[in-house]
Structure 1
């Protein structure tokens, strides 16, 4: 019988992770959680992100656990180039945290619950078609190509022999975690998130499609659907936050924290979650229980 100790079930010490969008918001929460528990994290961000300072902070955080971080900029580097670079440094990749995302709201905002027809139409028409294309390219398509590019390293991690005669997959190695949103699970808010929510709904289905594609190698694909969590897209506590009126309507009566997000991810990528595949875990404090399309 295997160990039931939490130190064994939830250990990520010594594991290798790649986290996209890992220098801010949810991605940084995940990166911090992994490094604090002894993982080696390759953090991927955009040139506009303060990646050098973030890497320094992460390495300071991991000094007592053996955790570490290195940073790379995805632009102008392509996904293929990134995969080739990681392949030169690692023979296996225990986890891909495909987290990067964007949100593009219509420039002409309105209260979609009360706006007259013409005002609603003008608001919806104001969003550029390119905003939709960019949203799907980052929020959905990029997850697909990252998973394909890094599949050999992930499969090698899943197949790697363990000290007890098993395989890496038995310990949860070789897993892709895709960040979606609870916005994919309800119909509307008091603002127009149509392009964002649609891309996230597509991402939820992509999780299942990829899990089915990779089943023969048991490269697991799972998703997380965060609710109200502090990020650039949802500046909790900031003046004028469009969601501020909804926080007290979440059953948990609060926004999500780094512990909520990191804890969920560590479960999914560790031995504790090694039998979980092709599902999306909603981490929203119960938000979608009450998000019935009215606000």
Structure 2
């Protein structure tokens, strides 16, 4: 019988892996980048803003001076940028599609009078839907396909991790982000489609569906934000923390998560059933 390594270094090691993370300049993407950098991965941070990526790199290097951090400025909603990005990479083990946008519509709830409800929902411009789906659904798909040859060549098997949202499975009538929530529901199914399509290549595809984490979408200083209200809304009585996002991504990228494929992991502290 072959000896198995059940140590933490054996099960959860990501040392030496090349990991590319979109939207890594801030928020959940940066939290995941911290986890991989601190554990010896070569981290490719991808975003639209050079300055934010430079700040993120400094933050990551403070965790360990030995970290290999590579910056790639790209707008993933641009096919040309995606093609150029894929061409700039020569090795890749893990792709994390984290970049996303949310464009709120005029607020309304199930208690809004019919005429006002209809007016609010119909005022959602076509651009809100097209931009949201372009960035949140199309971009992860085309970037994943563009680096497929690199992931397939990974000696440990390529991994794709899509970042969805708890909003993809919740239907709280008090929210007013229909395009965003629908796009993230599409990401969940896209994850399953890609897992099925790429299985003969040895590439696993999963998604993480985060709840309320500090980010540009969730301002902890805004008393009306879901994050600020997490103590009351979430069964574990808090919002998500950096380690929660990093740990889940590391699990899926490591040997410990090697039997998970085509799954959507809800990371919401129980909020999905509360």
The TM-score with structure 2 as length reference comes to 0.93
Other-structure match for 1:284: 268
Secondary structure in structure 1 of the residue aligned to 2:153: helix
Q: Structure 2 residue aligned with 1:141, among 134, 138, 141?
A: 138
Find out whether 1:200 has 2:184 as its counterpart.
yes
Give the distance between the partners of 2:239 and 2:67, measured in 1 at CA.
28
Give the distance between the partners of 1:283 and 1:194, measured in 2 at CA.
21
Find out whether 1:83 has 2:86 as its counterpart.
yes
* Unaligned segments of structure 2, at least 5 residues: none
Note the alpha carbon deviations across 1:62-95, whole angstroms, 9 max, x for none: 22xx3221111114761011000113xxxx3110
Give the distance between the partners of 2:220 and 2:119, measured in 1 at CA.
28
Q: Structure 1 residue aligned with 2:169, among 179, 185, 195?
A: 185
Other-structure match for 1:164: none
Note the alpha carbon deviations across 1:183-242, whole angstroms, 9 max, x for none: 111212412121111000110000010011110011110100001111101112324426
Give the distance between the partners of 1:238 and 1:263, measured in 2 at CA.
27
Other-structure match for 2:244: 260
Other-structure match for 1:225: 209
Other-structure match for 1:165: none
Q: 1:35 to 1:211 in 2, by over 3 A?
A: same
Other-structure match for 2:255: 271
Other-structure match for 2:114: 117
Secondary structure in structure 2 of the residue aligned to 1:14: coil
Q: Structure 2 residue aligned with 1:44, among 28, 43, 46?
A: 46
Secondary structure in structure 2 of the residue aligned to 1:178: strand
What CA RMSD, in Å, does the superposition of the two structures yield over aligned residues? 1.6
Give the distance between the partners of 1:133 and 1:176, measured in 2 at CA.
24
Other-structure match for 2:12: 10
Residue 245 of structure 1: how far off its partner (Å)? 4.1
Other-structure match for 1:33: 35
Q: Structure 2 residue aligned with 1:150, among 137, 147, 151?
A: 147
Give the distance between the partners of 1:279 and 1:95, measured in 2 at CA.
16
Give the distance between the partners of 2:150 and 2:235, measured in 1 at CA.
40
The answer on whether the counterparts of 2:49 and 2:73 sit within 8 Å (CA) in structure 1 is yes
Give the number of aligned pairs: 269
Give the distance between the partners of 1:188 and 1:228, measured in 2 at CA.
14
Find out whether 1:214 has 2:198 as its counterpart.
yes
Note the alpha carbon deviations across 1:149-178, whole angstroms, 9 max, x for none: 010110000xx2xxxxxxx13xxxx10000
